[in-house]
Structure 1
Amino acid sequence: MGAVASTSEDIQMVAMDESVWKSLPEDLMERVLAWLPIHSLFRMRCVCKQWNSILFSERFVARYTQVSPQKPWIIMYTAGRVSSAYDSSLKKWHDLAIPAMSPEKCVLAASEGLLCYGNEFFPWPNLFVCNPMTKFWQHLPPMRFIKTIHVVGMVNDRASKSYKILVAGLFFDEAHNGRLATEIFCSQTNAWAVGGKPWPIMAAAWKLGAGYAVWSMGSFYCITFSPFGVIAYDIERNLWDEVHVRMPACIVSPSLVECQGRLLMVGGCEEGNFLGIRIWELERIKMVWVEIERMPRKLRREFVEMLRPSRHFFGFGNGNIICLTISESSPAAVFDLEDRTWKWLPGCPRLPDINNWQLRGISFEPQLDSFSQSSWGKDIPSSKNPTLDNSSPERKAPTLLSDMTVGADHS
């Protein structure tokens, strides 16, 4: 049935000619479907077996990636117990189910359409990678040495259809001395390799904190503590180096963000009782942090008020979006690099106003061609979680994503 309207007040339901739609060329049908938002694609899988099979064909995935670039999504989670994703295109929250049995899994890293999950705060870490849109996932083999994770970074290489994961964490040598090790996972070999020189645990205490490693121009970058600074891991040379760049004076809660090839840092600046929220960009030639943005006065007052009694917050982002979150509070502030606007992220129904589970966030770009069935190398065994399989077109849309009611955008 279809709707035909001669005027805005005259709507009539008429029968559509099935023979016309049945004979629609497949190429033309794919061109039409390629303009759908990515979440709508999974709903359309339920229409028929043909549409279900189209979704993961190499031709359609390539076409969809070309004509429908996706804006970054923002994932908010609470120690793996609650995980929700905000679609910045449709301005909707989606449930993002964790595809594993353990409730302690949380998102440790993201790269384009891939997410790396793991039990960050527990010994004997267990990691796996998945594409939450296609639901293909892979358990990673155990690391060779690391028993407790400090920092995780991830990079996805579209050309080789592979990815690498960097993990820096704690292990104990034969004399039971704690040391910090670095290990790199390569999806092409499906194995971990030891990289970098291990540091004594006392040096690691000030060299490396905990959080995300940001990929930018061939290296992973991390914030160091006591004092604040930046170090980088060169993936080709397998070495850590200090980045010789002076940090802004009186900086508070610095976080690194990579956006469209630019290495940015978001943090606070203390001036007496005043705390300003600012964004800097690394000027690579002169190796200096250049301030590019300040949070507007009204939003800054509201944001700083939520920081009390501590002054700790966290920044992340990619594409054209930078998001600032507060550990004990669910509201998040978002800055758009393209139109240079600030706003509050719409509240998520699943995240309480005051959160005791250490609210954290990360952003990713939903994609069909990252870690899909067609992108597996011969050395990497693909696997599907049978409890999450929705390959049958008669079943409902994938349970990894479902709509949630969201209040008005209070921008």
Structure 2
Amino acid sequence: MNLYDYHLTAMQTENSQCKPKSEKQFIPAVCLQLEANLWSRLPEEMIERILLCLPVVSTVQFRSVCTKWKSLFLSDAYWRKRYRMDQDQDQEVKRDAWFFLCTTGQFSCAFDFEMDRWHKIPNPAIPRTSIIAAAGSILCLGNLVADCKILYICNPIKKTLMQLPPTSRVQLIHKATMCLNKDAQSYKIVVAGEENSIMSALMNSRVYRLYTEIYDSIAGYWRMAGNPLPHAKFGSDPGVWCNGLFYSITEMPYGVVRFDPENGVWTELDAAMPCYISTPSLAESNGRLIMIGRVVNNLNKATEKILIWELQNMDSDIIAWTELQQMPHCIYSEFMATVKSYSPLVCSAIGDWLCIATHLSPRTIAFNLYNNAWKSLPTDPLFPGNRNFRLLGLCYKPAVSDCHL
């Protein structure tokens, strides 16, 4: 059986299936009557320009129209043009990425802000692995709770899968992340973890020492980098890339560390964490480093709230977390109704939208960093039966090309 044995027809939306007929929108037949002679005479360049503006789901559906369109939608050139269009801030059609929710199980789901609905996406059938990171249109699969030296890269839209060479030293991964290189055609993967040697296991003695390895898809092999800080205990938050650096939450006590892949060095962020912060999570939006967290004062439970901060330069050498927004109490009460105090927040920024979820709540709350608007997303297909504490929220940019594989 193919490791990636599934069909694109499984990429369905839950809310489109559960809506009663009375709520569905029907398009009058007269609107569907297109003049074939008129459309057949359009220049190919104009047709391609129109197709470039389609949502990615439509490109998957329209591949069956004709051989020419199928070839176009599968070509790297088409997806490079889409990428360049999306980089242009002045374009009329601005496509956002998807908010990707994943955990262990047979499928993940992604919220499409452009179409305002969830897509259900099957996971590759690889034993003892789950999605642990994302960059652009590709996902990284591995295992963060058991020994893992082999990682996989896949494109869930194209149904392509590639196995990476084994890591050199890291065997028990504590933190894994990936990012696209500047050319957007290649990527890097960074893992930090323990060697967990056989001898240490036999002696029932584990020396807690972390190592860092970097995989570059251009080189095709792993290389060692600087070791993480000895006192840093990585939290469950996946971390984010911002302006070429990787930022990650540490625990006991809470803090933030960053990794420079060019120099291979970890450093501690010299910015005090907000008072009484609990279960913080990081996000990146248009070059801004954002942090979301609960503020919990054990002496006054009535003051509990969720706040949003941004890391800002206060002076030439001083950086600090500056409060941007507080989740309204009515939204907070409904969102936290089924959530325990220790439940981690699952967050990611999708364009200007900051998505906030937990594995225990049916709600996903989105906050727009541009206009300060709050929005409640529909219940996702994973809830409740396919949710667990390993739930991750990632930013995913769907594409059909093999540029990154």
TM-score range, shorter chain: 0.7 to 0.9
1:231 maps to which residue? 257
State yes or no: 1:55 paired with 2:73: yes
**How big is the shift at 1:239?**
1.1
**How big is the shift at 1:98?**
1.4
State yes or no: 1:163 paired with 2:163: no
**How big is the shift at 1:275?**
1.1
Seen in structure 2, the aligned counterparts of structure 1 residues 50 and 34 have a Cα distance that, compared at 3 Å, is same
Matched residue pairs, number? 360
2:307 maps to which residue? 278
For residues 34 and 326 of structure 2, the distance between their equivalents in structure 1, rounded to whole angstroms, comes to 57
CA RMSD of aligned residues (A): 2.7
Seen in structure 2, the aligned counterparts of structure 1 residues 302 and 162 have a Cα distance that, compared at 3 Å, is same
1:91 maps to which residue? 116
Match of 2:101 among 65, 69, 76: 76
Q: How does 1:363-378 map to 2 (within 5 A)?
A: 363-368=395-400, 372-373=401-402, 375=403
* TM-score normalized with structure 1 length: 0.79
Say whether the 8 Å CA contact 2:106–2:122 is kept in structure 1.
no
Residue 362 of structure 2 aligns to a residue in which SS? strand
Match of 1:247 among 273, 286, 301: 273
For residues 59 and 309 of structure 2, the distance between their equivalents in structure 1, rounded to whole angstroms, comes to 38
2:356 maps to which residue? 324
Identity of aligned residues (%): 32
1:188 maps to which residue? 218
State yes or no: 1:268 paired with 2:298: no
State yes or no: 1:37 paired with 2:61: no
Q: Which has the higher strand share?
A: 1
Match of 1:343 among 348, 354, 375: 375
Deviations 1:188-239 (A, max 9, x none): 011111111266xxx45x5323441311122211111111111111111111
**How big is the shift at 1:14?**
6.8
Matched to 1:192, the amino acid is W
Seen in structure 2, the aligned counterparts of structure 1 residues 121 and 226 have a Cα distance that, compared at 3 Å, is same
For residues 359 and 106 of structure 2, the distance between their equivalents in structure 1, rounded to whole angstroms, comes to 15
Seen in structure 2, the aligned counterparts of structure 1 residues 256 and 350 have a Cα distance that, compared at 3 Å, is closer
Seen in structure 2, the aligned counterparts of structure 1 residues 73 and 55 have a Cα distance that, compared at 3 Å, is same
2:9 maps to which residue? none
Gaps (5+ residues) in structure 1?
1-7, 377-381, 383-411
**How big is the shift at 1:47?**
0.7
Residue 133 of structure 1 aligns to a residue in which SS? coil
* TM-score normalized with structure 2 length: 0.80
**How big is the shift at 1:119?**
2.3
Matched to 1:95, the amino acid is K
Seen in structure 2, the aligned counterparts of structure 1 residues 254 and 131 have a Cα distance that, compared at 3 Å, is same
**How big is the shift at 1:359?**
3.4
Say whether the 8 Å CA contact 1:253–1:314 is kept in structure 2.
no
Gaps (5+ residues) in structure 2?
1-26, 86-90, 201-205
1:150 maps to which residue? 174
Say whether the 8 Å CA contact 1:330–1:353 is kept in structure 2.
no
1:135 maps to which residue? 159
